Amino acid sequence: MERAIETRHRGLIGVQPAPPEAVVETAQRVRREAGFPVGWLIAPGVAWLILFLVVPLASIIVFSFWTSTGHGMTPDPTLRYYHEYFSSEGFFDPESKKFLEPGIFIRTLWSTFRFTLTVMFFCLLLGYPIAYFLAMQVHSFKWQMALFLLCMVPFWTSYLIRAVAWLPMLGRRGLLNDFLMSIGVIDKPSTVLLYSEFSYTMALVQLYVVLCVGPIFFSLAKIDKDILEAARDMGATSFQTFREIVAPLSLPGVAIGMIFIFVMIMGEFATAVVVYGGKTTTVGTVILNYYAVANYPFAAVNALMLMIAMMIGVVIILRIVDIRSQL
């Protein structure tokens, strides 16, 4: 009791007793214990992520330097598969036609990338007006959410089945052919609608467009409507308002949506089989093929290059748009 009376602070109001140590201790303990200990909260999840995310990715890097034995791998370090990946036959031969021409695998990666850009472009073209409509033209929050959810539902259903659903639409006797014939655009069923680049693009756009509607919608919905009102009062046309205010402010959402679509389509392989009849080669199908013939190191090299290409793509998108300022 005596210690409690002992004075330490001399303030304007007078002499104040120092808080008893027991109180200080309790206060500290309470503060320290606010919330569960971080370590316990993250430990199970971190362990899971290490086991099923970090280790698989790390093993791809390691295995890309191992040697294939035809049915497995031995840990003899080699760069053979990288060499195989980058150079086509005759790469170093000035006489050869293929002198310094990148290998087939690089070209596959490049065509996958180019194709991905096409799909991204169409997704943006089709998805942006939807997000704009939901955010700017629908005024009741309830309706906004309902119409938005209606767009999002396909994201929660199987994309494999949605790819399959294109078959009766695009086939030789499919609905689209019937429609085109009935309006007289073509006089006999077209075969280029299914198992072609057209069907592949169309199916992928349909499958992934909802991924960019969400983020764009969210960034558009955050725009303060008063700014738009002010712009209009100052005599800006709708187009000016869009170009000067709405479009720049929606860029972070566009970037996030584009990153989503970019990473999903770069690794895409199942849809190619369903609506392209497996006629095309994407990096994904190459990886699977080499896995199937048990050339694991080469599959790993392909996977690694895909990963690097994707990282470069994501970094480029992030360089163009600073999304952190908007998160």
By CB under 8 A, is residue 234 in contact with other proteins?
no
Is 322 an interacting residue with respect to other proteins (CB under 8 A)?
no
Region of 91-99, 107-115, 180-188, 305-313 interacting with other proteins (CB under 8 A) = 305-313
Within 21-50, the residues that bind other proteins by CB under 8 A are 30, 33-36, 38, 41-42, 44-46, 48-49
Nearer to other proteins, 88 or 286 (CB): 286
Q: For other proteins, how many residues bind (rule: CB under 8 A)? A: 84
Site for other proteins in 150-189 (CB under 8 A): 150-151, 153-154, 156-162, 164-169, 171-175, 178
Binding mask 58-77 for other proteins (x = CB under 8 A): xxx--x--------xx----
- Closest to other proteins by CB, 44 vs 77, is 44
Residue numbers 70-129 binding other proteins by CB under 8 A: 72-73, 126, 129
Footprint of other proteins on 278-297 (CB under 8 A) = 284, 287-288, 291, 296
Smallest gap from residue 108 Cβ to other proteins (A): 14
d(C-alpha 209, C-alpha 122), whole Å: 8
Q: Measure Cα distances from 99 to 80, 89, 90, 93, 315 in Å.
A: 19, 8, 6, 6, 32
Sign of the torsion angle spanned by Cα atoms 218, 148, 268, 197: negative
Structure tokens at 175: 């609905």
Contact 281, 321 (CB under 8 A): no
Residues 189-208 contacting other proteins, CB under 8 A: 206
Which of 204, 220, 310, 323 is in the footprint of other proteins by CB under 8 A?
310
Nearest to 119 by CA among 223, 292, 227, 260: 260
Long-range contacts of residues 316-324, Cβ cutoff 8 Å, at least 24 apart: 317/255, 317/258, 317/259, 317/262, 318/255, 318/259, 320/255, 321/251, 321/252, 321/254, 321/255, 322/252, 323/252, 323/255, 323/256
